[in-house]
């Protein structure tokens, strides 16, 4: 198959510039292994396992199934009470790529570099990208408008070239990518790779209910709305009657409690707990409280495929697009 070599593929020693992004409640050992075995890089959040011990067992299971690089996402803000033990596991198991989100990645960079592993950090703004570059990050994930999860506010068409003008480390575009043509576009903008989430929910391996996968196939981009009801910060979900009923904004009491430093931390933890329970229920079975997390790329997804086949199709489409443009 075609070579798509970039600074990212060289840095990680993989074939294709495609990360299957870490997805809360969706990514597990099977999805990660399938993507990495196909030449991309599968990633998963450590919090998809109930304990640090179970997370470590999952990492070991992946290492038993593939020799290829894979990644783990660590949330590095106060709401994640497991960040230190989970980081210790990443360092002990020499997880090839750690992707940090939400907080300060300083300790992660130091610990993972000490064992020869790479760290990329989620960013939505130039200020934060400069900060993590100064801290020694190996690259950034440019989380753009349209992404699943905690999408950023800036269009990927602007965010990637804007970051590229000011930072030296590799940039991975995240947000709305579901086809190989878009990967070619991302590379043209100066990205070294793409991070794809939503497309991989519609994979055979994704460990979610079939109703969720079907909702991905049925949804159009305009069905994606941003709600603060899951974690306190805007997260992309498919609009359902339940989302319409609960609304997208925090209620006045929650807003007030978020404003005070004394209560903010606890509000974040409480909101995160309530939001993740709702996601968990909807991901694992039919419930009227439907909260399905997804990005605008839903509009481009028409089939549920094995994850390895998704990677191969993306690569073929990307290569054909580059050839077409060259011709
Ligand atoms: C269901 C879902 C759960 C996600 N969970 C996480 C997460 O736990 N940690 C993280 O860093 N990113 C998370 N993301 C973001 C993805 O890793 C990725 O950056 C994003 O999905 C890219 O946008 P796309 O969905 O448009 O491809 C999640 C995305 C989705 C759709």
Which atom from ligand 1 is nearest to the alpha carbon of 174? Answer: 22
Whether residues 221 and 314 share a domain: the answer is: no
**What is the structure's pLDDT at 285?**
64
Whether 307 is covered by a domain: the verdict is yes
Which atom from ligand 1 is nearest to the alpha carbon of 143? Answer: 19
Whether residues 202 and 214 share a domain: the answer is: no
Whether 96 is covered by a domain: the verdict is yes
Whether residues 150 and 278 share a domain: the answer is: no
Q: Is 234 close to ligand 1, i.e. is its CB under 6 Å away?
A: no
- Mean pLDDT computed over every residue of the chain: 92
Whether 2 is covered by a domain: the verdict is no
Whether residues 320 and 308 share a domain: the answer is: yes
More confident residue, 242 or 20: 20
Whether 200 is covered by a domain: the verdict is yes
Task: Summarize pLDDT for 15-54 with one digit per residue, the tens.
Answer: 999 999 999 999 999 999 999 999 999 999 999 999 999 9
Q: Is 176 close to ligand 1, i.e. is its CB under 6 Å away?
A: yes
Whether 272 is covered by a domain: the verdict is yes
Q: Is 295 close to ligand 1, i.e. is its CB under 6 Å away?
A: yes
Whether 147 is covered by a domain: the verdict is yes
- Say if CB 271 and CB 78 are below 8 A apart: no
Whether residues 231 and 171 share a domain: the answer is: no
- Mutate-to-test residue for ligand 1 from 103, 132, 142, 149, highest number of ligand atoms within 8 A of CB: 149
3-state SS of the chain is CCCCCCHHHHHHCCCCCEEECCCCCCCCHHHHHHHHHCCCEEEEEHHHCCCHHHHHHHHHHHHHHCCCCCEEEEECCCCCCCHHHHHHHHHHCCCCEEEEECCCCHHHHHHHHHCCCEEEEEECCHHHHHHHHHHCCCEEEEECCCCCECCCCCCHHHHHHHHHHHCCCCEEEECCCCCHHHHHHHHHHCCCEEEECHHHHCECCCCCCHHHHHHHHHCCHHHEEEECCCCCCCEEEECCHHHHHHCCCCCHHHHHHHHCHHHHHHHHHHHHHHHHHHHHHHHHCCCCCCCCECCHHHHHCCCCECHHHHHHHHHHHHHHHHHHHHC
Whether 77 is covered by a domain: the verdict is yes
Share of the chain above pLDDT 90, in %: 77
78 burial level (CB within 10 Å; 0-12, 13-18, 19+): middle
Q: Is 45 close to ligand 1, i.e. is its CB under 6 Å away?
A: yes
Short-list 11, 12, 311, 29, CA closest to 183: 311
For range 205-234, the mean pLDDT: 92
pLDDT of residue 249 exceeding 70: yes
Whether residues 121 and 237 share a domain: the answer is: no
pLDDT of residue 1 exceeding 60: no
Whether residues 287 and 312 share a domain: the answer is: no
Whether residues 228 and 182 share a domain: the answer is: no
Task: Identify the band that residue 284 occupies on the pLDDT scale cut at 50, 70 and 90.
Answer: low
Cα 2 to averaged position of ligand 1 atoms, centre (Å): 27
Here the CATH number for the domain that contains residue 58 is 3.20.20.70
Cα 147 to averaged position of ligand 1 atoms, centre (Å): 7
**Number of folded domains that form the chain:** 2
Which pair of tokens denotes residue 250?
């925090």
**Residue ranges making up the domain that contains 159:** 7-207+303-326
Whether residues 202 and 232 share a domain: the answer is: no
Whether residues 19 and 101 share a domain: the answer is: yes
Instruction: Give how far Cα 256 sits from Cα of 227, 259, 267, 287, 293, Å.
Output: 18, 5, 10, 30, 26
Q: Is 138 close to ligand 1, i.e. is its CB under 6 Å away?
A: no
- Mutate-to-test residue for ligand 1 from 18, 22, 143, 237, highest number of ligand atoms within 8 A of CB: 22
Q: Is 24 close to ligand 1, i.e. is its CB under 6 Å away?
A: yes
Whether 229 is covered by a domain: the verdict is yes
Task: Summarize pLDDT for 156-192 with one digit per residue, the tens.
Answer: 999 999 999 999 999 999 999 999 999 999 999 999 9
Task: Summarize pLDDT for 58-114 with one digit per residue, the tens.
Answer: 999 999 999 999 999 999 987 788 999 999 999 999 999 999 998 899 999 999 999
118 burial level (CB within 10 Å; 0-12, 13-18, 19+): buried
- Say if CB 156 and CB 291 are below 8 A apart: no
Which atom from ligand 1 is nearest to the alpha carbon of 283? Answer: 1
Q: Is 21 close to ligand 1, i.e. is its CB under 6 Å away?
A: yes
Whether residues 187 and 231 share a domain: the answer is: no
Whether residues 268 and 217 share a domain: the answer is: yes
Cα 172 to averaged position of ligand 1 atoms, centre (Å): 13
Task: Identify the band that residue 140 occupies on the pLDDT scale cut at 50, 70 and 90.
Answer: very high
């Amino acid at each position: 198959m075609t070579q798509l070599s970039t600074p990212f593929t060289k840095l990680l020693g993989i074939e294709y510039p495609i990360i299957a992004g870490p997805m809360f409640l969706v990514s597990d050992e099977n999805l990660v292994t399938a993507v990495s075995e196909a030449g991309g890089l599968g990633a998963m959040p450590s919090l998809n396992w109930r304990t640090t011990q179970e997370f470590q067992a999952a990492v070991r299971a992946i290492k038993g199934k593939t020799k290829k690089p894979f990644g783990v996402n660590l949330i590095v803000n106060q709401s994640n009470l497991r960040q230190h033990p989970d980081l210790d596991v990443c360092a002990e198991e020499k997880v090839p790529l750690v992707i940090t989100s939400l907080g300060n990645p300083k300790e992660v960079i130091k610990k993972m570099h000490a064992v020869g592993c790479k760290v990329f950090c989620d960013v939505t703004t130039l200020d934060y990208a400069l900060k993590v570059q100064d801290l020694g990050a190996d690259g950034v994930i440019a989380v753009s408008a349209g992404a699943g999860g905690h999408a950023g506010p800036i269009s990927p068409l602007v965010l990637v070239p804007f970051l590229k003008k000011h930072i030296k480390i590799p940039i991975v575009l995240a947000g709305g990518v579901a086809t190989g043509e878009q990967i070619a576009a991302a590379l043209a903008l100066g990205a070294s790779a793409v991070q794809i989430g939503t497309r991989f929910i519609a994979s055979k391996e994704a460990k979610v209910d079939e109703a969720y996968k079907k909702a991905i196939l049925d949804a159009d981009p305009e069905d994606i709305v941003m709600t603060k009801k899951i974690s306190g910060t805007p997260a992309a979900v498919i609009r359902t009657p339940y989302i319409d009923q609960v609304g997208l904004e925090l209620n006045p009491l929650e807003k007030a409690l978020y404003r005070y430093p004394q209560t903010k931390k606890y509000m974040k933890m409480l909101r995160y707990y309530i939001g993740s329970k709702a996601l968990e229920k909807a991901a694992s079975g039919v419930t009227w409280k439907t909260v399905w997390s997804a990005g605008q790329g839903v509009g481009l997804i028409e089939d549920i495929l094995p994850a390895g086949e998704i990677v191969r199709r993306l690569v073929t489409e990307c290569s054909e697009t580059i050839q077409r443009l060259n011709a």
